[in-house]
Structure 1
Amino acid sequence: MRRWWLTSLVGVWIVALGGLVVWSVDHDRATVPEQRDIDLALADLERAAGVVYAAADGDDRAVVLGELQLTRDCRITPVRSGLAAARAVTVYVADTKTAEAVEQIAAGLPADWATDWGRSSAGTRVSLHADAGNFVGIDLSSPAVATTFTLRLTTGCRPLDGEVPRGAGEASPSPAPALLSTVVGALGGNVGEPVVHAVTCPSGGVAGSWTVAGVSTPDDLPGHLRPAGEVVHADETVRAYRNRDDSVVVRPEGAQLSVTVSTPC
C-alpha cells in the first residue's frame, strides 16, 4: 500500500511539474534572446522603432527613418546560426544642438526603458543607450559637434526557422506626402515610385520616409529648395529642412540628388 501511495505521489508530481513547465513556456518572460525567435523579435523591433521615431521628432530637427536591415551571418552558438535585425532613425540638427536634441529624445522615451544618456568626460561626445524590452536595444554615439546623429535599434542574433517574409517588420505605408511632389517638382524632377520606409506609431497611425533618387542638380540649389521649408542645417553633404510637421532631407549622390520627405507620428 505504501509503495502504491509513493508511486501515485511521484506520478502526480511529474504531471504537475510538466504542466508548470508548459505554463512557464507560454507565460514567463524570456530570459535569453534565443527564447524569442526572429518573428517575435521583428514585432518587438517594429514597436520600438515607432516609439523612437516619434521621440526623435522635433520642431528644430529633420528626421529620416531607415530601412529594416537583416543580417544572416550572426551566430547564436558556435554551431547554430541565426538572423539579426536592425533599424536606424537619423536626426539632423543645427550646429551645437546635438546634446540638447539627445537629451530631449531621452526624455521622450518610456520610463521603463531605463534610458541612459550623457556626455563624455571631455564633453566631446554624446551617447545614449536604452532597453526597449525583449532584448531590443537602442544605441547612439556621436561627436557633440555633429549635425547628424543616428539612433540604432538592434535585436541581436535570433533563431530563424525557414525564410523571413519580404517586408517583415515594415508597416504598410500610406500615400506619399504632397510635399514630396512639391520639392521634387521644384528641382525639375518627377516623383515616380519613391522608396518608402514606414513604421507604426505609438498612437496606432503610420508614418515614415519617402525617397526619390536620381534628381538632377539645378543651378542655385538653395533657391530651388525654398519650398522645402525652414533650413535646419545645410552644407556640401546634406541640406535638411523643416516644413511644419514634415522633414525634408536633400543629399548629393554624384552629380544628382536624393530627396527624402518624412512625416511625423
Structure 2
Amino acid sequence: MAWLLAVTVTWAVVVGGLTWWSARHDPPTVKEQRTLADAGPVVDRALGELVAAVGDGAWALTGPQVERGCRITPMADGATLTRGLDVLVAEGGERALLDRVADRLPADWRAGVRAGASGPRLRADAGEFVAVQGRVTSGGRVRFTADTGCRPVGAGYPQPSAAPADPTLDAALRALGRPARSAPEQVTAPCPGGGTARTVAVSAGDAPVALTGLRPLAAGSPVADLPEVYAYRSGPATVLADGTGAQVRLAASTGCPG
C-alpha cells in the first residue's frame, strides 16, 4: 500500500502546484473573480466609446458611483461600479439618438435598440462582463450607463481628482450673477482614438434662475434653448446649464476628436 500512498501524495502535490500556477497566471474566467480595480478601466473605455458615438450635442459625463453591499456569494459582499453619460436631444429624437449610438459602437459589442414597456432601450456588451445601456429618462433626455455588476472590491475604483478652475464656467457664473456653490467636479474618459473626454461641473445654487444671461456667451446658435435648460458652444467646450432640478447645474464638456 506504500506505493498507493506515494501516488496519492504525488498527485496532491501536482494538483496543488497547478492550482497555484493558475491562480497567479491564468486570467479570471467569471465576473466574480474580477474586482472593481480590474473592471474600472473597461468601464472608463466604454464611456469614451459612448462619448465618441454621441458626437456633438448637449451632454455631460456624470461622476462614478460605487454601491457596496451586494452579494457575490452567500458568504461574500461586493460592490457595483456605474458610470454615466447624460444627453439632451430635441423631444421626440430620443430613439434616433439611441439608434445612432448603437450603430457607432464597436461591432463586437453587439449593440442594439429594442422597444420595451418603458420605452426604447439600448443594450451592449463592452466585454469583461461590463454591460452598457441607454434609456430615455424623460422627454428629450437620454442616459447611457456602463456598469460592472456585483464584484469583489479589491483595490477599489479611484475617485476623480480635484478639478482645476475652469474659465468657461467662471464666465457662465458671472453671466448668471451667481457664485459657485460647490467645488468643481471633473470627470474624464479615454477617447477610443486617443485624447480625453472631460466634463467639469459646479452647482450654481437654487433653481429656478433665468438662463437668458448666458445667450451673449454662445458662439453661434445655441445647442439647446429651453425654459430651464440652455446649452451653447464656447471654444472646444459645450456648456450646459440645467435648472430642472433643485439646484442649477453648470457643466462644461469637451468631447473626443474626429
Aligned to 2:119: 125
Identity of aligned residues (%): 34
What one-letter code is carried by the residue in structure 2 that aligns with 1:111?
A
The Cα offsets for residues 22-71 of structure 1, whole Å up to 9 and x where unpaired, read as 45445544332111012112222222222222222x23x21110101010
What one-letter code is carried by the residue in structure 2 that aligns with 1:153?
A
Do residues 184 (structure 1) and 173 (structure 2) align?
A: yes
| Distance (Å, rounded) in 1 between the aligned partners of 2:161 and 2:26 | 31
Structure 1 stretch displaced more, 10-19 or 26-35? 10-19
Do residues 141 (structure 1) and 135 (structure 2) align?
A: yes
Structure 1 stretch displaced more, 105-114 or 214-223? 214-223
Aligned to 1:106: 102
| Distance (Å, rounded) in 1 between the aligned partners of 2:74 and 2:209 | 56
TM-score, L = length of structure 1: 0.77
Identify if the C-alpha distance between structure 1 residues 255 and 107 changes in structure 2 by more than 3 Å, giving closer, same or farther.
Answer: closer
What one-letter code is carried by the residue in structure 2 that aligns with 1:198?
T
Aligned to 1:152: 145
**8 Å CA contact retained: 1:171, 1:199:** no
Aligned to 2:28: 30
Map 1:70-81 to 2 at 5 A: 70-81=66-77
Aligned to 1:200: 190
The 3-state SS of whatever aligns with 1:103 is helix
Q: CA RMSD in A?
A: 3.5
| Distance (Å, rounded) in 2 between the aligned partners of 1:23 and 1:43 | 25
TM-score, L = length of structure 2: 0.79
- Give the number of aligned pairs: 254
Name which of 235, 239, 245 aligns with 1:248.
Answer: 239
| Distance (Å, rounded) in 1 between the aligned partners of 2:64 and 2:29 | 25
Do residues 50 (structure 1) and 48 (structure 2) align?
A: yes
Name which of 87, 93, 109 aligns with 2:89.
Answer: 93
Map 1:155-166 to 2 at 5 A: 155-161=148-154, 164=156
Structure 1 stretch displaced more, 46-55 or 246-255? 246-255
Unaligned runs of 5+ in 2: none
Map 1:215-234 to 2 at 5 A: 221-229=211-219, 230-234=221-225
What one-letter code is carried by the residue in structure 2 that aligns with 1:202?
P
**8 Å CA contact retained: 1:94, 1:232:** no
| Distance (Å, rounded) in 2 between the aligned partners of 1:106 and 1:16 | 48
